[in-house]
Amino acid sequence: MAVKFNDYYETLGVARTATQDELKKAFRKLARKYHPDVAKDKKAAEEKFKAINEAYEVLSDPEKRQKFDELGAHWREGGPPPSGYGGFSRRGGVAGDEEGAFEFGGTGFSDFFETYFSGRREGFGASRHRAGGHHAGVAQRGQDVEADILVSLEEALHGSLRQVTLRRPAERGEAERTNTYQVRIPAGVREGQRIRLGGQGEPGFGGAPAGDLYLRVRLARHPDFSVQEADLHYDLELAPWEAVLGVQATIPALDGTTSLRVPPGTTSGSQLRMRGLGLPREGGGRGDLYATVRVQIPTTISDDERALWEQLAAKSSFNPRSAP
């Protein structure tokens, strides 16, 4: 089955010349709109949220973006890139080689992403018996199969149970097989961690056991937070007067909204720490949520506002360029 091209620029609604800042703004706007926790139609929003994540995962990485642009040029010329372009896929061999292909469902990633951007290592899922890599009468353990699975930060916090399907191609006159698994995603799962389903890989030969199925965790990008180990980081945008006078700010957290006291005289770049509002730590407990202050300056002001700023400038003794 041919791989369908996904136009990631179209998914994010940006031009092909979009800057990284424009990509980030587009992602955040769409991710907030379609986040399953806030959308009314949760099922449709979840699929849209996954597609937005996939698009931003590729376009926010300069190397992946260049590769995507090259792939897009091939498709616009009338067809997919030649066999072997882009490395190894989850489908059991070189991208573009459909023989012995595996297909997954419920992982959160499209066939297009898995084929060209998953970063799969050589060897996983290769069809050994098709390649002539075994000898009659010699017992050989089946090879492992690996795929990426997109995990939201909410799932990483609380854990979840996900349904994943694996479609195995028909071989040697046998019918195609589809297996469905209930995959438990543990709370505190990390980026790159692999979830093992023992004995669910390729069958062994000569009575040897089957290989394993590994699902490699990719944490979904969040519109509000970035992740460092078990800690979450949030950009807290303040008006100049809020930074000077202080404010009680309401900010998002994975558990819901929370209130944060910003002390008077807080400077841009300061970090305010909220203990225990991050992701689960390996040894127990939770990481922290850090709010990094970003003081925002209004770019347009009314005549009345200008008069007030000028009045403040005339009365204030503050000079940021004076010697300490």
Distances (CA, A) of 170 to 14, 77, 82, 123, 130: 41, 32, 24, 20, 12
Q: Are the beta carbons of 185 and 194 closer than 8 angstroms?
A: no
Within-domain flag for 170: yes
Q: Are the beta carbons of 116 and 6 closer than 8 angstroms?
A: no
pLDDT given at position 245: 95
* DSSP classification of residue 276: T
Closest CA to 89 of 132, 129, 144, 146: 146
pLDDT given at position 19: 95
154 shares a domain with 31: yes
Task: Report the CATH number that the domain containing residue 268 is assigned in CATH.
Answer: 2.60.260.20
Distances (CA, A) of 6 to 25, 109, 165: 20, 11, 21
pLDDT given at position 170: 67
Distances (CA, A) of 171 to 26, 55, 84, 261: 45, 34, 22, 63
pLDDT given at position 112: 85
101 shares a domain with 29: yes
Within-domain flag for 83: yes
Give DSSP secondary structure letters for 52-80.
HHHHHHHHTSHHHHHHHHHHHHHHHTTSP
104 shares a domain with 76: yes
146 shares a domain with 59: yes
pLDDT given at position 77: 72
Give DSSP secondary structure letters for 218-268.
EEPP-SSEEEETTEEEEEEEE-HHHHHH-EEEEEEETTEEEEEEE-TTPPT
Closest CA to 225 of 173, 165, 156: 156
pLDDT given at position 84: 53
The amino acid sitting at 157 is L
Give the residue numbers spanning the domain of 57: 8-128+138-219
> Among 219, 240, 260, which residue terminates a domain?
219
107 shares a domain with 17: yes
Among left, alpha and beta (phi > 0; psi -120 to 50; other), residue 132 is left
pLDDT given at position 172: 62
Within-domain flag for 1: no
Domain count, the chain: 2
Within-domain flag for 3: no
Within-domain flag for 320: no
Within-domain flag for 2: no
- Cα angle vertex 282, ends 255, 163, to 5°? 65
Within-domain flag for 154: yes
> Among 185, 219, 253, which residue terminates a domain?
219
23 shares a domain with 153: yes
Tokens of 266: 């807080």
3-state helix, strand, coil in the chain (%, to 5): 25, 25, 45
> Among 196, 219, 242, which residue terminates a domain?
219
Q: Which residues pair with 232 in a beta bridge?
A: 227, 289
179 shares a domain with 162: yes
184 shares a domain with 63: yes
| Residue pLDDT tens, the chain, 324 long | 567 889 999 999 999 999 999 999 999 999 988 887 776 777 788 889 999 999 999 999 999 999 999 888 888 776 666 555 554 344 443 333 444 457 778 888 888 888 788 765 434 444 444 444 455 568 889 889 888 899 999 999 999 998 888 887 766 666 778 889 899 999 999 999 999 999 888 888 888 998 999 999 999 999 999 999 999 999 999 999 999 999 999 999 998 899 999 999 999 999 999 999 999 998 889 999 999 999 999 999 999 999 999 999 999 998 888 866
265 shares a domain with 198: no
By the 10 Å C-beta count (0-12 exposed, 13-18 middle, 19+ buried), 282 is classed as exposed
77 shares a domain with 120: yes
Kindly report the pTM of this predicted structure.
0.79
Neighbours of 226 (CB within 10 A): 13
Distances (CA, A) of 272 to 29, 46, 238, 275, 285: 25, 31, 13, 10, 20
Within-domain flag for 321: no
237 shares a domain with 121: no
Among left, alpha and beta (phi > 0; psi -120 to 50; other), residue 182 is beta
Residues 6+ apart with CB under 8 A from 148: 90, 107, 108, 109, 113, 114, 118, 215, 216, 217, 218
pLDDT given at position 111: 82
pLDDT given at position 79: 65
198 shares a domain with 238: no
